[in-house]
Structure 1
Amino acid sequence: MIEATRLSSFRLAGAALAAALAFGTGPAAAADPKLDPVPLIEGWLLPRYDALAAATTAQAKAWAAFCPAPSAAGVAPLKEAYGKAADAWNAVEFVTFGPITLSLRADRISFFPDRRNGISRGLSEIIADSDPTRLAPERFAQSSAAVQGLPALERLLYEEGAAEALVAGPEAARRCALGTAIANNLATITGEIRTAWGDKSSGVLGAIVSGKGDPALFPDVGALPGMILTDLSGAYQRVTDTKLLPVLGASPADAKPLVADSWRSGRSGRVAANMIRSADALLVAVGAQMPSRPQYVVTKAATAADAAADKLPADIGLDPSFAATPEAPSEARLHGIEASPAGPLAVAVGRRPGRIALVFDRRKGGVLASFGPGEGRVFSGHGRFTADGRLFLTNEIERPADGVRVMGHGVVAVRAVDGGFAIRDEWGSGGDGPHDLMRSGAALVIANGGIEPNTPEARDAEVTGSGITLVDPATGAVRGEGRLSPDLASLSLRHLARDGNGGTVVAAQDLLKDGEARPLLFRIAADGALTPFDAPDDAWRALRGYVGSVAYDPSGRFVACATPRGNQVAVWQADGRYIGAVPLTDGCGLAAGAEAGTFVAASGYGEVIVVKAAPEGVAITARRTGGPRYDNHMVRIG
């Protein structure tokens, strides 16, 4: 997270400016000849507008080169050109005087904040409309400001699946045409701004030098120093008030990383840093026109703010320990992940009704092999290595005849790892619709989910037929069973977690949507008997009938559940006492953290958080945003 000292450095720069203004250079003394605006415009502002015009022109050329022959490799230059244009814009986005104020140019370059999702709605509407005249330069310039600028381009390049949609698919041509229209529009706007400024003998700057001013922009040339100083002091305030504080919140639990500027491209911290560095350069230029003492104060403050900006992460809220690295791309949607205890192999099993499981090297990356379910069956999403890593067990479901709305019987397929994961034995799972399985203590625990909620089989059903089966891990012989009480018959037992000392829990999902508060977390006894954990009714209801993942912390003292429908991670003591919950929108992936009392959780919006639990409460202690859209499960290795 951004430390308070960095925010203080930014505010210090603003305070130094205010102190310097007391020497007679502030807006109240705007006509004071001690501050000459011409060197500031000529030496600081215009070179930055030159850079912006050049970057947007280069970006337009990149799109023109890409669209005639789109390719996956060609997307990277588009992203690079976008980043350079966005960097150049950040350097001047706090400037509110001059030609930028005409024709809504600032909003058209960067429509931020977008409080009503106007950008995404506008882009979707244009993409769906095949009329080519909408993208003609004159007409496009009259479109909503939301779709004309850098944030719109960011979505076309960085949203989930957007890069692929530029290369192939039914929308590829239209998306390319739209990206080209936006890039050309940006080049036109920034070119108009720079042309309007002119030089000492022409344009707006020429009018300032002559003392005549501009009737629309600077009717009183003497007010210009005050405008410059107001924008300069406002730059630091804008960074803290619009780029940092709304994102960070009062605490990590209050953070809102998805309101950050440029979060999709992972640039939200860079935006703030770019603005600070540019404002610091202007501050130093202003200080150069001051007496030695205030000049020293200003320069020192600018140096401190620069140093603070250098320490900002690329993405606000970023914890560098949770960077995401793609290891095994898959066209199919996978579900549970299991790492071998005896080497670098890991297996990701397809989500029900899964047809594939991928074997990959978790150290070097890359898919090594794949395998499918047994004849007439589908994967249910989970598999486990045996303790020696020689066998891999998969839960599989027999497919019923077409049109028959029942969950199939469960089979545990025992696969030889060194035999290409070929099936060498098969055991009954002890029920229908098995989902998770896990060795805990002396038994292999199988969660037979029965009828899975939110599936066609669940329509009009009120009883899942779910249960727990304990089997001998060597022979598959049944050693125990656990069944839910009749008042909990609508629950489907799905995900398992163990503490390493024989303690096992199972989390459930509810078939019914009747608003009743039913427990969704249970302790499994050595004979399979189920005991519900405790929580207030409101806490159970807050899970929205759905737990997607469950995990113990490293100490085994705490258990957490993640619910993408309830948008939270809830935590209990292992003895069943409810502690509390923290928010995580669309959060499902969950695993033990690095330290006792901690968990790591991930969301479908690319967030990763660290959750700290103690008997007195639970809190978020670190957060990273801007990652891929994480799916159901994660596993800690090592």
Structure 2
Amino acid sequence: MQLMVTDKTRRNLLKAALLGMAAPVLPFGCASNRALREPGLIGCSIHGRDDFQVTIADEFGQPIYRLPLPARGHGVAIAPQLGHAAAFARRPGEFLMVFDYTKGTLVQTIKASNRRHFYGHGVYSNDGHWLYATEGERATSRGIIGVYDARNQYQKVDELTGFGIGPHEVIIMQDGTLVVGVGGVHTDGRTPLNLSTMEPSLTYLSPEGELLDQVGLADHHLSIRHLAHDGNKTVLCGQQYRGKPEAYPSLLAMHQRGQPMIPLHAEPEQWARFNHYIASIAATNDWILATSPRGNCYGIWSKHSGELVELLPLPDASGVVTNGREFRVSSGSGKVIFQSQPGGKRQINSNIPWDNHWSAIH
């Protein structure tokens, strides 16, 4: 069965977009085939100047629904219990947008207050009741975790603070502990103002905001930004280096509460390939994979030895998630990589220009 895209269809798709409803993606044959595909991955995407979307895809990265975003997006949080996801504006962001990923429909858009902005990431509590968002005070970059009641129209009910400035990503552990990558950078817009005195940290908070642990790295110019955990007790953190341009320190570290940071290893010329920036991280029992869109590459480390095992080119390497023991990597070029371990990969083309991050629906 061939699906014809008529002028009436185009008008209906445009009307759906204007109403805040995602247009179903059409190039996959008949609609019944599309309906059989289940949402598995969500990420923000860039389709042209001022054309920003959040894309709901199947487990292989093939798009099912797309929703327009008010501006460029960054991270996505998912609550399977509700069928909801939240896309966060790229820092300094003005919005977070909640949508029903099972239907491709808008739920609501929350705007930042005049003196606040979003930092691009958030996470739902393990029961889906609360949405935690990284936020900042514009004048000072004071770090805030905004707490929103997902079961009460996303009313903001609390703010957790007192842990530092410039938080970027927040994740949640199995026991409900929040882990925050605190960048330590005071900014005016995206311009850093305090590079000589920045104080980044990896911070652990209780759901009520109690500071449980806080650790840093030896070089205070390593701004801790992106996080992942291995499904157990190990947190992985990726850094953006804000020091001397000719220096290439380790950009990845592992940590467990109550212990020191363990930097991962690679040669300086290998770290140079990452261009001072780690975007997305994921881990299996044996391997850690990290991407760098600025470096157009991704690397795979042994989780046991901490050594870089493989470094591969990928134009605009973006998000990474795990599916069992397999990594799935997105890119701004539309390529999707499937790889379980070093030495073997396969790829397809999703035709979606993915942005920095992917989130998996579990």
The 1-side partners of 2:314 and 2:186 are apart by: 24
Tell me if 1:379 matches 2:118: yes
Contact 2:186-2:193 at 8 Å conserved across structures: no
C-alpha change, 1:471 and 1:427, in structure 2 (3 Å) is same
Change (3 A) 1:375 1:387: farther
Question: Going by fraction, where is helix more abundant, 1 or 2?
Answer: 1
Q: Which SS does the other structure have where 2:357 is aligned?
A: coil
Q: Output aligned runs, 1:317-356, within 5 Å.
A: 321-356=60-95
Q: How many residues align?
A: 316
Conservation of the 8 A alpha-carbon contact between 1:589 and 1:633: yes
The separation in 2 between residues aligned to 1:562 and 1:468, in whole angstroms, is 20
Q: Does 1:565 align with 2:304?
A: no
Q: 1:608 aligns with which of 336, 353, 361?
A: 336
1:472: Cα distance to partner? 1.2
**SS in structure 1 at match of 2:248:** coil
Q: Distance in 2 between matches of 1:521 and 1:583?
A: 18
Q: State the TM-score, normalizing by the size of structure 1.
A: 0.46
Cα pair 2:165 2:186 within 8 Å, conserved: no
| Equivalent in 395, 418, 424 of residue 134 of structure 2 | 395
Name the structure 2 match of 1:464.
198
Q: Secondary structure at the match of 1:414?
A: strand
Aligned residues: percent identity? 27
Relative distance call for 1:561 and 1:454 in structure 2 (3 A) is farther
Deviation of 1:568 after TM superposition, in Å, equals 0.9
Which digits, 9 at most, give the CA deviation of each residue in 1:97-124, with x for residues without a partner? xxxxxxxxxxxxxxxxxxxxxxxxxxxx
1:419 is paired with a residue of what secondary structure? coil
Alignment match, 1:310: none
SS of 2:354's equivalent? coil
1:508 maps to 239
Alignment partner, residue 163 of structure 2: 430
- Partner letter of residue 267 of structure 2? P
Task: Give the gaps of 5 or more residues in structure 2.
Answer: 1-6, 15-45, 52-57
Give, as a single letter, the amino acid of the residue that structure 2 aligns with 1:432.
Answer: I
Q: Is the 8 A contact 1:454 1:511 kept in 2?
A: no
Q: In structure 2, do the counterparts of structure 1 residues 418 and 542 end up closer, same or farther at CA, with 3 Å as the change threshold?
A: same
- SS of the residue aligned with 1:540? helix
Alignment deviations for residues 440-481 of structure 1 (CA, whole Å, 9 cap, x no partner): 2543111111227997532683453211211112x2111111
Any runs of at least 4 consecutive aligned residues in structure 1 with deviations exceeding 4 A, and if so which?
A: 72-76, 452-456
Deviation track 1:529-556 (CA, whole Å, cap 9, x = no partner) reads: 3221122222212111011111113xx3
Q: CA deviation at 1:573?
A: 1.7
Correspondence for 2:268 among 534, 537, 542: 537
Shift of 1:320: 10
For 1:493 and 1:365, how far apart are their aligned partners in 2? 33
The CA distance in 2 between the partners of 1:591 and 1:420, in whole Å, is: 29
Structure 1 stretches of 5 or more lacking a match? 1-65, 67-71, 77-158, 165-318, 401-406
Instruction: Describe the SS at the equivalent of 1:566.
Output: coil
- Residue 590 (structure 1) aligned with residue 320 (structure 2): yes
What is the deviation of 1:524?
1.8
CA RMSD for the aligned pairs?
Answer: 2.9
Q: Please state whether the residue corresponding to 1:609 is helix, strand or coil.
A: strand
1:509–1:453 distance in 2 versus 1, CA, 3 Å: farther
Question: TM-score with structure 2 length normalisation?
Answer: 0.80
Aligned position for 1:25: none
Aligned to 1:5: none
Aligned residues of 2:141 and 2:187 also touching (Cα < 8 A): no
1:331 offset after TM fit, Å?
A: 2.6
Higher relative contact order (CA 8 A, sep 6+): 2
In the TM superposition, residue 348 of structure 1 has moved relative to its aligned partner by: 0.8
Alignment of 1:122-201 (within 5 A): 160-161=47-48
Whole-angstrom CA distance in 1 between matches of 2:107 and 2:153: 10
The structure with the greater share of residues assigned to strand is: 2
* 1:429 and 1:448 in contact (8 A); partners too: no
